[in-house]
Amino acid sequence: MAKNKQIREPEGFATWTPSDGHLLDVRNLNVEFNTRDGKAKAINGASFHLDRGETLAILGESGSGKSVTAQTIMGILDSPPASVTGGEILFRGVDLLKLPEEQRRVVRGRKIAMIFQDALSALNPVFTVGWQIAEMFRVHRGCSKAEAKDMAIKLMERVNIPGAAARYGNFPHQFSGGMRQRIMIAMSIALDPEILIADEPTTALDVTVQAQIMELLKELQAETGTGLILITHDLGVVADVADRINVMYAGRIVEQAEAKELYASPAHPYSEGLLNSIPRLDQSTGQLVAIGGLPPNLTKIPEGCAFNPRCRYAQDVCRTGEVPPLVDLGGNRSSACHFVSELVAGTLQPNGLQVVTGIQPAVAEENGDQA
């Protein structure tokens, strides 16, 4: 069993206050994977922030770099093949990327915790769930066995496990998918982290259970004031929950907006495409329009704006000009599109590129845009 060795917190954590800046400030992050086909540029200058008590959704199609971003923040990236080639991850003003592994471990779990998509593989199959939760209190808080058990049962009750005390001695496989996800949420909040990263926490669950889990996360966040990063490819999941949404494409944030604003009027053609591809009760156009083409091969990201081969507004500057930077539009909103003003004003004309109809943007037919 791990010793309860006290490792000092990084200097600077204790003196930080919210007036010093964002709780989490990711700046110009770059991550590459060495693959047989060359370097896959998974994260390409991603910048975003999170404040205390807020829920930030990171939204994007499969392969846009959402999980790699989360793993980089947590410091659990597989390296090799991955390497962080640039940028900063400031947590309480301290760059996590510069911390020695020993101090990083102090942050992981205790300050920043993560909920994974697949609870069955994240939990240890050979220990009871109660033991696994109690172990956190014993190892990190130095609690006695009896105290830790007591705290674990309380936490199981808090995440609504029926008959928590009786189920303390059950193994992960004895729970349903939704209940296992609740157990993982319990473990993630056990040490009162300041940031919780939930990577597709409900994808594997059916719709009713999804809603219950989202409700639980919302409640816990309101109680604890934790900053929550909710990673999803499903706009429907974040609609009611997120304060702000960051839209990610090919390893960059291409739009950052308050959730309501993004729904009302997207300020990037990719966000517009994502919104157009979900059914909406407030619109009766009758047809869903998915984004044509597929996300780019990350070893061959298109020149200019990475979204240009799929963008129905793309013009020459989008294909050959510089990568459009994320520009602050005021009102807590930013966008990385050369034509954002025209798009927002509603004066941008589509360029005649064929749009593919369907429901799921991620599985839209390949239309020859791939490099």
Ligand X SMILES: Nc1ncnc2c1ncn2[C@@H]1O[C@H](COP(=O)(O)OP(=O)(O)OP(=O)(O)O)[C@@H](O)[C@H]1O
| Residues in touch with ligand X (CB under 6 A) | 33, 35, 40, 42, 60, 62-68, 78, 81, 233, 298
Give the total of residues touching Mg ion (CB under 5 A): 2
Find out whether 305 and 318 touch, Cβ atoms under 8 Å.
Answer: yes
| Closer CB to Mg ion, 67 or 256, in the complex | 67
| Closer CB to ligand X, 72 or 334, in the complex | 72
Q: Which residues pair with 39 in a beta bridge?
A: 34
Q: Which residues pair with 25 in a beta bridge?
A: 49, 90
Q: Which pair of tokens denotes residue 83?
A: 């390497």
| Closer CB to ligand X, 250 or 289, in the complex | 250
- Whole-angstrom CA distances from 7 to 32, 106, 113, 148, 251 are 31, 7, 18, 21, 34
Residue 298's binding partner out of ligand X, Mg ion, none, with CB under 5 to 8 Å set by partner kind: ligand X
Residue 78's binding partner out of Mg ion, ligand X, none, with CB under 5 to 8 Å set by partner kind: ligand X
Helix and strand tally (H, E) in the chain? Answer: 13, 12
Amino acid identity at 226: T
- Whole-angstrom CA distances from 209 to 58, 183, 216, 242 are 21, 14, 10, 18
Query: DSSP of 270-313, one letter per residue?
Result: HHHHHHHTS--TT------BPPPS-PPPTTSPPSSSTTGGG-TT
Q: b/e string for 51-65 if b means 16 or more Cβ within 10 A?
A: eebbbbbbbbbebbb
| Closer CB to ligand X, 49 or 233, in the complex | 233
| Half-sphere exposure in the Cβ direction for 113 (13 Å, CA) | 18
> Least CB distance from residue 187 to ligand X, whole Å?
21
Amino acid identity at 49: H
Q: What are the helix (H) ranges across 34-172?
A: 66-74, 101-107, 119-122, 129-141, 145-158, 164-167
Query: DSSP of 73-92, one letter per residue?
Result: HHT---TTTEEEEEEEEEET
Binding map of Mg ion across residues 137-166, x = CB under 5 A, - = no contact: ------------------------------
Taking CB under 5 A as the binding criterion, the range among 61-69, 164-172, 262-270, 300-308 that sits at the site for Mg ion is 61-69
| Closer CB to ligand X, 80 or 100, in the complex | 80
Taking CB under 5 A as the binding criterion, the range among 42-50, 60-68, 128-136, 239-247 that sits at the site for Mg ion is 60-68
Residue 313's binding partner out of Mg ion, ligand X, none, with CB under 5 to 8 Å set by partner kind: none
| Closer CB to ligand X, 38 or 225, in the complex | 38
103: contact with Mg ion by CB under 5 A: no
Taking CB under 5 A as the binding criterion, the range among 7-15, 65-73, 215-223, 243-251 that sits at the site for Mg ion is 65-73
> Least CB distance from residue 305 to ligand X, whole Å?
18
On the 0-12 / 13-18 / 19+ scale of CB atoms within 10 A, 194 is buried
Q: Which of residues 176-235 bind Mg ion (CB under 5 A)?
A: none
> Least CB distance from residue 70 to ligand X, whole Å?
8
Query: For the chain, what is the radius of gyration of the CA atoms?
Result: 22
Binding Mg ion (rule: CB under 5 A), the pick from 67, 181, 188, 277 is 67
Residue 33's binding partner out of Mg ion, ligand X, none, with CB under 5 to 8 Å set by partner kind: ligand X
| Closer CB to Mg ion, 60 or 227, in the complex | 60
Residue 68's binding partner out of Mg ion, ligand X, none, with CB under 5 to 8 Å set by partner kind: ligand X
Amino acid identity at 147: E
| Closer CB to ligand X, 23 or 298, in the complex | 298
> Least CB distance from residue 134 to ligand X, whole Å?
31
| Closer CB to Mg ion, 66 or 138, in the complex | 66
* Chain residue whose CB lies nearest Mg ion: 67
Q: Contact positions toward Mg ion, by CB under 5 A?
A: 66-67
